[in-house]
Amino acid sequence: MNTGKKILITGGAGFIGSAVIRHIINHTADSVINVDKLTYAGNLESLAEINTDSRYVFEHVDICQRAELDRIFNEYKPDAVMHLAAESHVDRSIDGPAAFIETNIIGTYTLLEAARQYWNALDLPKKNAFRFHHISTDEVYGDLEGTDDLFTEETSYEPSSPYSASKASSDHLVRAWQRTYGLPTIVTNCSNNYGPYHFPEKLIPLIILNALDGKALPVYGNGLQIRDWLYVEDHARALYKVVTEGVVGETYNIGGHNEKANIDVVKTICSLLEELVPNKPGGVNHYADLITYVTDRPGHDVRYAIDASKIERELGWKPAESFETGIRKTVEWYLSNKAWWSRVLDGSYNCERLGVSNQK
């Protein structure tokens, strides 16, 4: 394992990005430059435990700002880039696709060009060691027809939503910059993440928090859409493994080996809350009574499932958490961290988000 590297991470105040940064600061000797625009989903409170570490620095910068990216590359001289900054919520992409085109496509292009200019000026040893790791999603593949098929690294792209189409576009850009310009890139495509510090609009935290408040638990359509669930801290370990040991030009699919229908995820959370929070909100007999089926969203993919055998075979990574252990840890985290999620729900985390300046 390489140690003492400087890693530039975009989107490090987001759900997956903050998990990656916590992992690197807590478990390696590397340092991190966190570049984040701090959109609604960016929350520096997710990094509170490492915020004062001397190996961590935050830059409040939009990846579409080329001059700022050039300054950051020249000032910090990173050994690697982990590109996680992205608009990522499917429903939001349906309602307003423009932000997804801007951040996921234009932002990725701008970052690639800044990285390429920086990389071209490096001396040969540093040039050979540099990596640009692009973090993407399994949603670029579309959905699976059968019950046994899996997404592999060779699966053709068939994105269904404005979000997944914009991520597919960014994947193609990254691969083109490697083939055309020689920029040493690696791409990873992951399945659905869950775990601590997940923004409450996403399925699992939404169900947990709505249930605790006695609110309806919305389930799209019949709830039979299947996802492969990956605990976010397992994903963080995988991403670090890829940026330090992955092969340039390769793609690695990262999955949790945990296929679950959405309705089963919701019922599992209800069962855990029955055990952990038996004193329910007024008028609720069983948490599962709150389940409410709602109109399905347009273009909703039916099934995603990742074949993660390549990263296990070539890099020795596999998930440590089963869905059962991971979902219990997740529910327990939300029960123990009301201060974090209540500040997200009431918007008070925005005060820090909107008033932040560069912290060095």
Q: Establish if 250 belongs to a structural domain.
A: yes
Q: Establish if 210 belongs to a structural domain.
A: no
Q: Establish if 82 belongs to a structural domain.
A: yes
The answer to whether residue 314 is catalytic is no
- Confidence band for 184, pLDDT divided at 50, 70 and 90: very high
Q: Of 36, 45, 87, 138, which one is the catalytic site residue?
A: 138
d(Cα 199, Cα 353) in Å, to the nearest integer?
14
The answer to whether residue 301 is catalytic is no
Q: Establish if 243 belongs to a structural domain.
A: yes
Domain of 150: which CATH number?
Answer: 3.40.50.720
Identify the pLDDT of residue 300: 67
* pLDDT tens digits along 252-310: 999 988 889 999 999 999 999 999 999 999 889 999 999 999 987 676 667 888 999 99
Q: What is the mean pLDDT of residues 179-202?
A: 95
Closest CA to 306 of 83, 144, 135, 86: 144
The answer to whether 163 and 114 are in contact (CB under 8 A) is no
Look up the domain containing 85 and give its range.
Answer: 6-195+230-257+300-321+349-355
* pLDDT tens digits along 73-124: 999 999 999 999 998 777 788 888 999 999 999 999 999 999 999 999 999 9
Q: Of 163, 194, 240, 349, which one is the catalytic site residue?
A: 163
The answer to whether residue 163 is catalytic is yes
Identify the pLDDT of residue 91: 77
Q: Of 139, 143, 301, 321, which one is the catalytic site residue?
A: 139
Q: Establish if 242 belongs to a structural domain.
A: yes
d(Cα 85, Cα 305) in Å, to the nearest integer?
23
The yes-or-no verdict on residue 146 having pLDDT over 90 is no
Q: Establish if 249 belongs to a structural domain.
A: yes
Identify the pLDDT of residue 299: 65
d(Cα 144, Cα 156) in Å, to the nearest integer?
11
Q: Establish if 172 belongs to a structural domain.
A: yes
d(Cα 229, Cα 206) in Å, to the nearest integer?
16
Contacts of 36 (CB under 8 A, 6+ apart): 10, 11, 12, 13, 14, 17, 42, 58, 59, 60, 61, 85
* pLDDT tens digits along 50-78: 999 999 999 999 999 999 999 999 999 99
Q: What is the mean pLDDT of residues 153-178?
A: 95
d(Cα 81, Cα 127) in Å, to the nearest integer?
13
Q: What is the mean pLDDT of residues 209-226?
A: 92
Q: Establish if 304 belongs to a structural domain.
A: yes
How are strands ordered across the β-sheet holding 6-10?
56-60, 31-36, 6-10, 80-83, 131-137, 185-190, 251-254
* pLDDT tens digits along 131-140: 999 999 999 9
* pLDDT tens digits along 9-24: 999 999 999 999 999 9
Q: Is 317 helix (H, G, I), strand (E, B) or coil?
A: coil
Top-confidence residue, 208 or 352: 208
CA-CA-CA-CA torsion sign (53, 54, 55, 59) = positive
- Confidence band for 1, pLDDT divided at 50, 70 and 90: very low
* Number of domains the chain is built from: 1
DSSP state for residue 297 in the 8-state scheme: P
d(Cα 95, Cα 45) in Å, to the nearest integer?
28
